[in-house]
Structure 1
Amino acid sequence: MSHVVARHIDDVEAFGDIGALNMEAISKALSKTRRLTSDNAPLFYSAENKRLSMYDATNLTPDAFTALGHLNPNLTTLKLDFCGPLNDAVMSSWTNSLPHLVSLELLGPFLIREAAWIAFLQAHPNMEAFLITQSPRFSLDCLAALIASSKTMLRRLRLREVGKLCDAFVEPIAEIVALEYLDLAEPAEWLTDDAVIALLSKVGTTLTHLDLSGHGALTDDVLAHGLDPYAPALTSRATLRLALNISGWKDVGEVALSGLAGARELRTLDVGWCRAMDNFVMKKVLEGCRALVEIKVWGCDRVEGNVLLSGVIKGNASKP
């Protein structure tokens, strides 16, 4: 049914009450053909909405984003992918029109400047999830505004492909009281070992998801002196949400990678482009991490398929 609606999305008025249909499925169907527009977006709007996800907002105008806030005033969770047209005026309107928002996920908010970010974050205390990707103007002052208003409630933080990310970001992130999910991947400037270790010493205890992929300067020290002593939920606690991504850590050594075998409850692992990963190390990891359901080894030319297949046969659902 969602695909039928997607094909005839421009005839919105003909549908009448479609409240019983799966709005999320329709939104995903529309994203495949980029047919979500300013004209048909109101199909998804309601004053009763608590959650709203749009998976391709490329064709929405700034006015459409502003209308989204006014017509969904009770939203607590908002996710927008490919939201490039989003600008300062929209964020300023959301400062007042979305007072209950505690979870915001944006992919591609390129245009939002520092002042607009800060005003929005100051107006939304107690954010539980702040997840942004590709935001070149999100600065250290923006992060300080987020931490000042939400450090006791924030559980999920993503600053992925954030152009201004650097070691200075570590100190405010370290103030978050009970962080569970942290994604600082694919930066313009790599974090250093000392900064990451210092960060893990403060927030590592509660982390169940960590993505530091793309930080090519990180070494064995982060695994030995950061993850091992300070991030027990990533290495030993029984939880279904354990994840670890160290893709691109080219200089991590064999000994450190072998140490991952002690992470017996680890569910997903990405060691892509880790040069020291070979058949012998992989065998140790597969034998030690019995809870693994996914492992990514892109760029690991020294790992052969028969080793991964052996892991599958023994009970691991490993994937190259």
Structure 2
Amino acid sequence: MKTNPGRFFEDYRMGEVIRHAVPRTVSGGERALYHALYPARGALYSSDAFARSCGLAQSPLDDLIAFHTVFGKTVPDVSLNAVANLGYAEGRWLRPVWPGDSLRAQSEVIGLKENSNGRSGVVWVRTRGLNQHDETVLEYVRWVMVRKRRETPAPAPVVPALKPAVEAADLVVPAGLDFSGYDFALAGERHRWGDYAVGERIDHVDGVTIEEAEHMLATRLWQNTAKVHFDATHREDGRRLIYGGHVISLARALSFNGLANAQMMVALNAGAHANPCFAGDTLRAWSEVLDRAGTGAPGVGALRLRLVAVKDGAAPFALRGEDGKYAPPVLLDLDYWALVPL
């Protein structure tokens, strides 16, 4: 058999390292497409001149371009037969990705646990994205529910102990980054690190209706081959599921209104795709400030932020119902660290 049906739960082994195909060289083309697909306006990722004024040699590619590119590489080996992508933890961006870099990915299986129904199980992997110099540009843990091929004995369950959040001391600030001469007018907002208070919530006001064509273009751009995103016959309702990363990028871009100076994502503490998203849904976003920290870099502080994406007329700042579960309109609950000028 020469075709790849994808892996099932029983195909994974603890400690196995999977080298994913295919390496990809990223360029300004990815940046242009990213900014066309999402209303992304971060100054650091839009202008070489602005990036140089912040101590960088040029404008790096958006952090989520690196994330989507690496994530897409893992799909054929990790989530082609997934029932659901369940969560993220311990994610860190370790160095910028520049136009012309070639990215590849590899994952280590760090946890396995069969579900009680015996028809699926959860697989935990730690994924690393590497550039052409074999330097790790980002790393993260994610766990997915994967179908079993047949009724077979399950391995002994191993559930990894994961940190609830990346410590501020473990955040990596890109070499040379300096916000001491930051141009707030060109960035688009005057709000700096000290203007945000822990517990503050920000309604990002704007909304965007998700289109099938844009989602399909984005999913192909990231070379994400998950069947639920492409094949309308794969779900009983005949609908193609919107890639969760598409929702992340839309929500992150919408957060510009209120968080324009949260320039760089440097850590992904946790994340949940709370409810499915489909074409035609109108997405809005709000954020909550969870923590603040210094970094030691000139003029650079860090904010820990919760980014929540909701759809279709959700109540302001709604997250969970009385039963403790995510409210039906909630699509995304993402906890991350971002670098902000002091």
**Could you say which structure has the larger radius of gyration?**
1
Q: Which has the higher strand share?
A: 2
- Normalising by structure 2, we get a TM-score of 0.20
Q: Which has the higher helix share?
A: 1
- Normalising by structure 1, we get a TM-score of 0.21
Higher relative contact order (CA 8 A, sep 6+): 2
